[in-house]
Amino acid sequence: MPLDPLVPARGDLPAGERRRVSRQLLLDGFGPQAQARLAGARVLVVGAGGLGSPALQYLAAAGVGTLGVVDDDVVETSNLQRQVLHGAGDVGRPKTTSAAESLRLLNPSVEVVEHVQHLDDATARGMLGGYDVVVDGSDTFATRYAVSDAAAALGLPVVWGTVLGWDGQVAVWWSAAPDGRAITYPDVFGPRPDEDGESCETVGVLGPACGVVGATMAVEAVKLLTGAGDVALGRLLVYDARTSAWDAVDLAPPAPDAVDTSPVATATPGPRDGAPTGGRAAGETAEGALVLDVGPVAGTLGDRFEGAVWVRLEDLAAGDYPPELLGHPAHAPVVVVCPTGLRSRGAARLLADDGWRDVRPVAR
């Protein structure tokens, strides 16, 4: 069901802007009034990463007048596979700075507001205030719930998206939606969980899938702002890059007297049996297995894996192997350990793909 446009048409479009967006003005059900609404709109994009990059690019190109960019991170080499706002020369620079420069080159008339401050429960409401729509491309539960709570308090709609591995999701949350259609992120996913689930860092992500989902988020934001099309409010759009198929799951608003909601079930690996003990020098156990520690920092596994060889998961992905692994026979066992089993599972896949024939991922 179409919604009324969120913003009014604030003045006429200059002739140069009409020429730039002429293909958009030809759209059935769009036209100059919708374009004028975009020109007067203020959109806050949380995250200038894999989802924020394409969302920001398409919103700037579409003619959104003001774009806020929230990110307190810097560009890393491993970002460049999917975070297409940034280039090799931006490594080490703040993501907001790199994003702002790219967006101004794309559309010099767009006003870009950089928010380098960390977004959390204490800062979210101040950042979101004054914007018309929030586009949430964040990758932590803490940020998602902080955005959701602040947006609900302010009555702002949130276009949300996520990508993990080959799979993506998009939805629109709005506590102040008309016609009894109000639904928020916690209504569907339940209370805020711990930060111990899978992530792109542990299971990987297909770069172009981020582009598909991020562009879809931009589409939803444009529809909200202009009143054109049917917004994905009350629907969870699910994307499978393996088949290039989209599915839509209907979401029911919570009952008025609901006390609690159940989160969507997610699979998390538990501890595995047979973990090695008593590692020897150079990371080898008494059974001749090489123990690799791929925890986030060295030493997080304690004494149980004393003598394990610590290596960053990103280094393994880059083929930068420690000498202990390079000197270990391909047929001999390799035990990969981490606190939850998520990083070790990803590392085991990498090593198996590179020829090690007996690789065993283990949780602490």
Co-location of 324 and 200 in the same domain: no
pLDDT at 195: 63
pLDDT in tens, 39-61: 999 999 999 999 999 999 999 99
In a domain, 255, yes or no: no
Residues 249, 204, 356, 340, CA torsion sign: negative
In a domain, 273, yes or no: no
Give the CA radius of gyration of the chain.
23
Give yes or no for residue 258 having a pLDDT over 60: no
Co-location of 88 and 195 in the same domain: yes
Residue 311: name the closest of 337, 292, 328, 325 by CA: 292
Provide the 10 A C-beta neighbour count for residue 12: 11
Co-location of 232 and 105 in the same domain: yes
The amino acid that residue 260 corresponds to is D
CA 143/CA 48 separation, integer angstroms: 14
Annotated active-site residue in 34, 338, 342, 348: 338
Identify the domain boundary among 250, 266, 296: 250
In a domain, 327, yes or no: yes
In a domain, 6, yes or no: no
Identify the domain boundary among 210, 235, 250: 250
User: Of the spans 3-12, 203-212, 317-326, which averages the highest pLDDT?
Assistant: 203-212
- Torsion angle, CA of 305/270/318/54, rounded to 10 degrees? -150
Co-location of 206 and 140 in the same domain: yes
Concerning whether 338 is annotated as a catalytic residue, the answer is yes
Identify the domain boundary among 208, 235, 250: 250
* CATH code, 151: 3.40.50.720
303 by DSSP, 3-state: which? helix
Q: What is the mean pLDDT of residues 107-125?
A: 95
Q: How far from chain centre, in Å, is Cα 32? A: 33
Concerning whether 210 is annotated as a catalytic residue, the answer is no
> Mean pLDDT score of the chain, rounded to an integer?
84
Annotated active-site residue in 38, 182, 200, 342: 200
Co-location of 157 and 50 in the same domain: yes
- Torsion angle, CA of 343/349/354/358, rounded to 10 degrees? 100
Residue 35: name the closest of 16, 53, 56, 48 by CA: 16
* CATH code, 322: 3.40.250.10
Containing domain of residue 345, as a range?
Answer: 281-363
Number of domains in the chain: 2
Give yes or no for residue 127 having a pLDDT over 50: yes
Co-location of 175 and 52 in the same domain: yes
Alpha-carbon distances, residue 19 vs 13, 16, 173, 355 (angstroms): 10, 5, 34, 56
Q: What is the pTM of this model?
A: 0.73
End-to-end CA distance of the chain: 49
Give yes or no for residue 259 having a pLDDT over 80: no
Q: Name residues whose C-beta falls within 8 Å of residue 19's C-beta, 6 or more positions apart in sequence.
A: none
Give yes or no for residue 270 having a pLDDT over 60: no
